[in-house]
Amino acid sequence: MSMKVATRQVDGVTILDLSGRITLGEGSVTLRDSVRDVLAKGSRKILLNLADVSYIDSSGVGELVSAFTSVKNAGGELKLLNLTKKVNDLLQITKLYTVFDIWDNEASAVSAF
Amino acid sequence: MRVSLTFKAYPSKLPSLPQLSTESAAAAKVTRLPDSTTSRTSLTLASSLESVNTVEKTTEEFAVRAGFDEDTVPNIVMAVREAAINAVFHGNAYDPAKRFTASFEANSDALVIRIADQGPGLDPTTLPDPLAPENILRGSGRGIFLIRAFMDEVHFRQLHPGTELTLIKHRAPAQPAA
């Protein structure tokens, strides 16, 4: 049920590989803490890889939005990579698809920063 | 306290549900009517995230058993999970003295799920539109919106105290014979 996060660097971009569920409670908190952590370490180009995120609820959607605004307020950029169909549908329904910069190719996403 | 959900032995070709167990304080009651066209389950649960997960799992099992397809079941599950979160988080505010109930009914026309809390009540007309430009970047406020997006009908009823949400998903109309 819980979410896991692995962090790596590619050409100056911090990529967070998320896996599991981003839901109210543990998943949302893990995402918030992870983004806060990489911001504190100086990262300003952050790419969230959602390829292995199986499920996001409204709290998780809210946490993605909060991460986006946190990074933006810190003078950085946050982009999304590899959305599953369900997550893609969720962002379409909530009209957040136009808010986020969304990519399905990691090299292209990294180059876009 | 352990909770087990079992369907009564009944002359049907449907497989019995797998046993569902949880450590949350809850009581489960299952009734299967003899005509096999309607089935019901109800749960009374503690105001906890663990209970939300119990409701989510039960919803998935119930919807699959009721015959909804693999594209529809996740949407039903998400809507019910959001309703359960509202009951626990916004309604009962994690108050250990308060319970919420989840009841499930599948009949020949639809799946009907009711989630009721013991909170102060919810007026759905006061909810901000999460799609409005001034709200689009808010970190919360999308739960009821998603419930409405994924279900065919959503009804609110004030219980004094509490709120009951009724979520209805109709069965897809049968395809006409070629």
CATH T-level fold of A4-111: Transcription Regulator spoIIAA (3.30.750)
Question: What's the rounded mean pLDDT across residues B24-51?
Answer: 71
CATH class of the domain defined by B28-130+138-170: alpha beta
Would you call B142 and A61 a contact, using CB atoms and an 8 Å cutoff?
A: yes
Q: Which of B73, B85, B90 to mutate to test the interface with A (most CBs of A within 10 A)?
A: B85
Which B residues in the span 22-61 are in contact with A, Cβ-Cβ below 8 Å? Answer: 49, 52-53
Whether A70 contacts chain B with CB within 8 A? no
CB contact under 8 A, B137 and A94: no
CB contact under 8 A, A24 and B138: no
The number of beta carbons lying within 10 Å of the beta carbon of residue B175 is 6
Confidence of residue B37 (pLDDT cuts 50, 70, 90): confident
- The interface pTM score, or ipTM, of the predicted complex is 0.90
Task: Tell me the pLDDT tens digit for each residue of A43-101.
Answer: 999 999 999 999 999 999 999 999 999 999 999 999 999 999 999 999 999 999 999 99
Q: Residue B94's pLDDT is what?
A: 94
DSSP output for B115-166 = EE--SS---GGG---TTSTTTTT-SS--HHHHHHHHSSEEEEEE-SS-EEEE
Q: Where in chain A are the domains?
A: 4-111
Percent of chain B with pLDDT over 70: 76
Q: Measuring CA to CA, which residue among A39, A47, A53 is closest to residue A3?
A: A53
Tens-place pLDDT, residues B94-131? 999 999 999 999 999 999 999 999 999 988 889 999 99
Q: Residue A1's closest chain B neighbor by CA?
A: B53
pLDDT tens digits for range A22-45? 998 878 899 999 999 999 999 999
